[in-house]
Amino acid sequence: MASKGEAKGAAVSRRDGHVTRPLLGAVSPNAEFVVDTTGRVDMSQFKVLKSTHDLFVNAVKNALTSMRFYPAEIGGRKVKQLVQQPFNFSLTK
């Protein structure tokens, strides 16, 4: 049984951020963010739609800061776009 503040099946981390217990089942945090006209993520618009643990949210945030996207276009002009995207994690021994 999960303890108070711990999601059932979620990873438990030590203070240094290492996972001490493997996850049970798939982990796919869903995020919502805006891709600007340069293809970069506007992190001020970042939202978590679903997640099982903060470790995965932090991993998604870190990844998004270095990711680049093709900006959306309307009529040949680059525009901002709201994106909802799942991120899949797989933990191995």
pLDDT digit string, tens, across residues 34-90:
999 999 999 999 998 887 677 788 889 999 999 999 999 999 999 999 999 988 877
pTM above 0.75, yes or no: no
What is the pLDDT, as a whole number, of residue 2? 34
**Helix, strand, coil: what percent of the chain each, to 5?**
15, 35, 50
**Contact 77/5 with Cβ under 8 angstroms?**
no
Higher pLDDT among residues 15 and 8, named by residue: 15
**Contact 84/31 with Cβ under 8 angstroms?**
yes
> Position 58: which residue type?
N
Question: What span, in angstroms and rounded, lies between the C-alpha atoms of 21 and 11?
Answer: 6
Q: Which stretches does DSSP call E strand in 1-93?
A: 30-35, 41-50, 72-74, 77-79, 81-86
What is the pLDDT, as a whole number, of residue 50? 84
Residue 32 has pLDDT above 60, yes or no: yes
What is the pLDDT, as a whole number, of residue 4? 36
- What are the residues whose beta carbons fall under 8 Å from the beta carbon of 10, sequence distance 6 or more? 2, 23, 52, 53
